Amino acid sequence: MAAGENRDRRLGTIPSGYSPVRRGPGGAVTVELAGDHPGVTDPVYRARRDHLAALAAAWQPGRPPPCPEYTGEEHDVWRTVSASLQELHERVACRAFLEGKDRLRLPVAGVPQLTEVSALLEPIAGFRYQPVAGLAPLRDFYGSFAQGVFWSTQYLRHPSVPLYTPEPDVIHEVIGHANQLAAPGYAALYRLVGAAVQRTEGEEALRFLSHVFWYTMEFGVVREGGELKAFGAGILSSVGETARFHEAQLRPPDLLAMGEGSYDITRYQPVLYVWSSAAEMEDTLARFLETYDDATPSALRRAG
């Protein structure tokens, strides 16, 4: 998942966001957890976050992603979330997501390495995973989709609350996005997002596009057989969101409202946009992305 701001090299920020990652004068990498983070008072968890962030920060393109040795506790968190989501997915995930999940067959017994995820996903969707220390800058994150690259964190949420995370961890990045990327047609939409980013120069158009992505590929819902189904990775990687997304304020699709809307990544989403079918979502979003550039937000405002 992307951060809302770009990298600031003067301050040593690796990327900014809910838990910014900073490099100190001696090269030490530190994750600054917010005061309300479940792990903020746990020195073992904080040291683990710093270690995993340092591995990602030291990674160089062209090399295999680092393969941290996950702990038994981390594997337990993965198993707990995977088991909890399995039944929820069967009830509320859209058909395309379930088809992608069935094709990908992610491990459920423990945390997979990014190399394992890439080995499963690349033959299906042409996408590979690369590590990032924290929330990635917008242009880096979305622009990389054009090359079939998905930037992923490698840490897990705090074990005291395995069914909750205020930030995107490897469970979100893999269970949410990798399953989605393996779904028929969705990888093509990601690539269109990457191509659209490469046609933008201004930050305003980039932010607008990122917000449309948020309300579609992260938190989109559709109707199938008269029932409300989720396809967004942000919903389907979260036990809480998956269990209660139907309680949100449901609105018809509106690309202008999506692009100009605001959101809080640390809270359940209060507003969701509902497409009448998966086909409508894919067709509309593909047409929007194919011609997206710096002028698109203004054109939508004039048309509205």
Domain ranges of the chain: 21-303
Confidence at residue 304, expressed as pLDDT on a 0 to 100 scale: 77
Residue 170, pLDDT > 70, answer yes
- Quote the percentage of the chain above a pLDDT of 90: 85
User: Could you give the CA distance from residue 173 to residue 303 in angstroms, rounded to a whole number?
Assistant: 35
pLDDT at 15: 38
pLDDT 10s digits, 189-208: 999 999 999 999 999 999 99
Is 84 one of the catalytic residues?
A: no
Catalytic option among 218, 238, 241, 282: 218
Let me know if 5 is a catalytic residue: no
246 is a catalytic site residue: no
pLDDT higher than 90, residue 124: yes
Q: Would you state the pLDDT for residue 303?
A: 93
- The DSSP bridge pattern shows strands 128-131 and 149-152 to be parallel
- Rounded to an integer, the average pLDDT of 273-290 is 97
Q: What would the pLDDT profile of 209-236 be if each residue is shown by its tens digit?
A: 999 999 999 999 999 999 999 999 999 9
Give pLDDT, residue 203: 96
Specify the pLDDT at position 3: 44
pLDDT at 6 over 60: no
User: Do 154 and 114 touch, CB atoms closer than 8 A?
Assistant: yes
Task: Name the residue with tokens 């998905």.
Answer: 150
Instruction: Choose the catalytic residue: 144, 237, 238, 241.
Output: 237
pTM above 0.75, yes or no: yes
Fold of 21-303: Phenylalanine Hydroxylase (1.10.800)
pLDDT at 12: 31
From 24, 42, 40, 44, select the one nearest 32 (Cα to Cα). Answer: 40
Residue 241 has pLDDT above 90, yes or no: yes
pLDDT more than 70, % of the chain: 94
- Please determine, for residue 18, whether its predicted confidence score (pLDDT) is greater than 80: no
Cα 139 to chain centroid distance, Å, stands at 14
Residue 177 is among the residues annotated as catalytic for this protein: yes
Can you give the pLDDT at residue 135?
82
Please give the residue that has the higher pLDDT: either 93 or 2. Answer: 93
Q: How far is CA 230 from CA 15, 80, 105, in A?
A: 29, 21, 19
pLDDT of residue 2: 54
Q: Concatenated DSSP letters for the chain? A: -B-SS---TTTTBSS-SSS-EEE-TTS-EEE---TT-TTTT-HHHHHHHHHHHHHHHH--TTSPPP-----HHHHHHHHHHHHHHHHHHHHHB-HHHHHHHHHH---SSSPPPHHHHHHHHHHHHS-EEEE-SSSBPHHHHHHGGGGTEEEE------TTSTT--SS--HHIIIIIIIHHHTSTTHHHHHHHHHHHHHT--SHHHHHHHHHHHIIIIIT-EEEETTEEEE--HHHHT-HHHHHHGGGSEEE---HHHHHH----TTS--SEEEEES-HHHHHHHHHHHHHT--TTHHHHHHHH-
Annotated active-site residue in 82, 177, 210, 211: 177
Residue 26's pLDDT is 80
pLDDT tops 50 at residue 285: yes
The per-residue pLDDT for range 42-58, each reduced to its tens digit, is: 999 999 999 999 999 99
Residue 257: phi and psi, rounded to 5, are: -65, -40
Q: How far apart are CA 126 and CA 259, in angstroms?
A: 28
- 24 has a pLDDT exceeding 80: yes
108 has pLDDT over 50: yes
**pLDDT at res. 190:** 98
Q: What angle do CA 230, 288, 212 make, to 5 degrees?
A: 50
Q: Is the pLDDT of residue 11 over 80?
A: no
